[in-house]
Chains A and B, each alone.
Chain A
Amino acid sequence: MPSLWIRQARVIDPATRRDAVGSLFVRDGRIVSSLTPAERKRAKVIEANGQVACPGLVDIHVHFREPGQTHKETIGTGSRAAAAGGFTTVVCMPNTSPPADNAGTIQFIKDAIDRDAVIKVLPTGGITVGLKGQSLAPFGSLKRAGVVALTDDGDCVQSNELMRRALEYARMFDLPIMDHCQDQSMTRGAVMNEGVMSLRLGLQGWPNAAEDLIVSRNVILSAATGGHIHLQHISSANSVEIVRQAKARGLRITAEGTPHHFALTEEALATYDTHFKMNPPLRTEADRRAIIAGLRDGTLDCIATDHAPHTDYEKDREFDFAPNGITGLETALAISLQVLRRKNRFSLARVVDLLTRRPARVLNLSAGTLAPGAAADICLFDPDEKWLYDAKAGFSKSANSPWHGQTLTGRVKTTIVDGRVVFARGRILA
């Protein structure tokens, strides 16, 4: 493998507090502080021309649908979409078919990763058997099989007793619990945020109280057990405040915000477009602002996409019947730059931090840094380039994006995994 010499880059690495124009060197798949003159002669040179070079992006919430729903996405296609979006490490959710609640299924997923993935894909296991919320999944064998966290994502654990025991039991393995916070008794049949908009549209509402209750429950159980709970895709202003207070108490609570929840509101549903249907739902402008404030002050630890591919024929239905979720990997950086940097004056380094070091830290992953010795996972992007996003021409197998057909600002140019260029000039090279 040739060494790499990335020249004239604006190197941003929040983990080492680096933000300066200069060179970035890679030898044997790892970041090094410099190359010898002889090595430089042989190195493959990448002229960055002032583009940003940052750690490869990290997404701790994606759905790659394998096994069982490979008509929507596979580990191969999902990882290509990730690479095109600048991501080099992603964590995939266990709500596959069958669910990833046992070591055998995890091994199946790992085999597919070894065979098909062009970036680093890390599996999670279920908290409960079948993600049914009835009995604990075998955390010990899941850990041995290689999961990095436990979650019933999509199906929030409803039983407080079971969640308590899951937290206690997971501590023994040092595995974080990730929870999709939703009191299901309050959201039966719900397809959008509850409020004036749902009244107008005649759609069944999902009140933010259903999220706030479980967020509160989880804070209480984390305090009681000492277990680490990561709260997935926080969508409500109240929940942001509950997390803020929990963090002030020093509890082991982490939380994520998605690009769609900080970029969009329920107003987008006026025409019943199913590309704005997700769970938790898009909420109000006040909620959107609270999520941005949470990302600004660190209440929300990181950005995660909840990349949730569905085929066109599944999404192209009556609003009530369409599945929840949108793709996000290929647009996350641009949307984050547009909303957080341009509209809300986050520094470039701050946006990078929310997509690299911070998500890695939530799950204790070794990714997300350009420190010498770290794996050479690198994303090169032009923060100001405008480009037309065509979801149908993207790398995901599905095209269910609310940003399809829009001109976005901020474009990934090159993605490098372990010192190998996997995405450049709009193409996957792996």
Chain B
Amino acid sequence: MPWHRRHLLTIEELSLAEIDQIHATAAAFKKILQRSVKKVPALRGKTIVNLFLEPSTRTRLAFEMAAKRLSADVISFDAASSSTTKGESLRDTAQNIQALNADMIVLRHGAAGSPLYLSRILDIPVINAGDGAHEHPTQGLLDTFTMKEHLGSLRGRKVVILGDVLFSRVARSNIHALTKMGAAVTLVGPSTLVPHAFTDLGVKVSHDLKRALEGAEVVMLLRIQHERQGTSHFPSLGEYTSMFGLNKARAAWLDPKAIIMHPGPINRGVEIDSELADGARSVILEQVSNGIAIRMAVLYLCADGRPEAVIAAD
């Protein structure tokens, strides 16, 4: 099946076939990454600009690494070094990047919907690297890719997403990916951060950690943001940890073969005990590694790459 999408803006708009296609392409790239020569000439001569208007370590590095593995030229810049600090609008910044002959923009932005906005202005592909509390599609893709590596098909598998779902773009992208892939998703956390309205997206909402974790094959933790503490959303990090922090005793409620995931950055001792984060069931660093293959796949496909060429070559 040829790939038709120029932009990757959300998982919500992807079909299951498209998700599978990205995963298959990523699997092929992952094999290449395990060779001694990790580079392919797929995007030689192309220039990718990472426009990161919100802080990021993991995602930015993974996108840079992915672009380099594809032999693209990559330029990254952040809010502090861009003219947005001089009051330049996003439209003008992006149009300038396009005028400099960039072939693709990877955008991280604090305002939900801004990748869609840019995609309507620019002629070049726009890849969403996280927009506000909306979506973080490559994270959802790499998370489900990692789950598939461990569990095979996700159909009917019980996946729990635990933590600050309300403000999480990672949660939203995973919800869309997982429901399309047929997983049984339960969101759990404080009622202020996991409102009932999420059930409209085809998931269960629970505030009972034990019942939610029982028999789950995947638990994905979300970072509890320090800045929410002391606002009206929850009383304190201490109270959060005592109610919803994942520790060894609580992890015993999970399916014995369950994997523990976290998109990072981790607050050790808050949403997860250190020993679990580093333990045998943790796949947190695999997620990071898989992030490169997924981003290679996305960059390659949206730059007009032919998926069959990569998948066949491997």
> Could you list which residues of chain A lie within 8 angstroms of chain B, going by C-beta atoms?
195-196, 199-204, 271-272, 313, 316-321
Contact = CB atoms under 8 A, between A and B. Distances in A.
Given A318-B90, A320-B132, A200 B113 contact: no
B114 to A, nearest CB: 5
9 contacts: A199-B166, A199-B197, A201-B112, A201-B113, A202-B133, A272-B113, A316-B89, A318-B114, A320-B112
A320 B113 CA distance: 9
A317 B114 CA distance: 8
A27 B37 CA distance: 93
Given A196-B200, A200-B201, A203-B132, A317 B112 contact: no
B3 to A, nearest CB: 23
Contact of A202 (B90, B117, B169, B195): B169
B30 interface: no
Nearest to B199: A196
B116 interface: yes
A203 B169 CA distance: 11
Contacts of A202: 112-113, 131-135, 169, 172
B111 interface: yes
Contacts of B172: 200, 202
B112 A271 contact: no
Interface of B, secondary structure class, is mixed
Contact of B89 (A196, A199, A203, A313): A313
A203 B113 contact: yes
Nearest to A188: B231
B231 to A, nearest CB: 9
Interface residues of B, number: 25
A319 B113 contact: yes
Interface of B: 12, 89-91, 109-114, 116-117, 131-135, 166, 169, 172, 195, 197-198, 200-201
A106 to B, nearest CB: 33
A316 B112 contact: no
A186 to B, nearest CB: 9
B158 to A, nearest CB: 22
Contacts of B169: 202
Contact of A317 (B90, B133, B200): B90
A359 B169 CA distance: 45
Contact of A272 (B12, B112, B201): B112
Given A195-B197, A196-B200, A271-B116, A201 B134 contact: yes
B111 A320 contact: yes
A318 B117 contact: yes
A368 B112 CA distance: 44
Contacts of B198: 199
A316 B91 CA distance: 8
A203 B113 CA distance: 9
Contacts of B134: 201-203
A318 B131 CA distance: 11
Nearest to A203: B112
Contacts of A272: 112-113, 116-117
Contacts of B111: 318-321
Contacts of B133: 202-204
A318 B200 CA distance: 26
B129 to A, nearest CB: 14
Contacts of A200: 12, 172, 200-201
Given A201-B134, A203-B133, A272-B112, 11 more contacts: A196-B197, A201-B113, A202-B113, A202-B135, A316-B89, A317-B91, A319-B111, A319-B112, A319-B113, A320-B110, A320-B132
Contacts of B110: 320
Contacts of B117: 272, 318-319
Q: Which of A200, A202, A313 is the most central at the interface, judged by chain B CB atoms within 10 Å of its CB?
A: A202
Contacts of B201: 199-200
Contacts of A316: 89, 91
A200 B12 CA distance: 9
A199 to B, nearest CB: 5
B189 to A, nearest CB: 14
Contacts of B200: 196, 199-200
Residue of B109, B111, B113, B117 most packed against chain A (CB within 10 A): B113
Contacts of A271: 113, 116
A196 B109 CA distance: 22
A278 to B, nearest CB: 16
What are the 4 tightest A-B residue pairs by CB atom distance, in nearest-first order?
A202-B134, A272-B113, A318-B111, A202-B133
Contacts of B112: 201-203, 272, 319-320
A55 B57 CA distance: 64
Contacts of A201: 112-113, 134
A204 B113 CA distance: 12
Contacts of A317: 89-91
A154 to B, nearest CB: 22
A204 B132 CA distance: 10
A418 to B, nearest CB: 44
Contacts of A318: 90, 109, 111, 113-114, 117
B53 to A, nearest CB: 9
A313 B90 CA distance: 11
Nearest to A202: B134
Contacts of B89: 313, 316-317
Nearest to B91: A316
Nearest to B165: A199
A316 B166 CA distance: 27
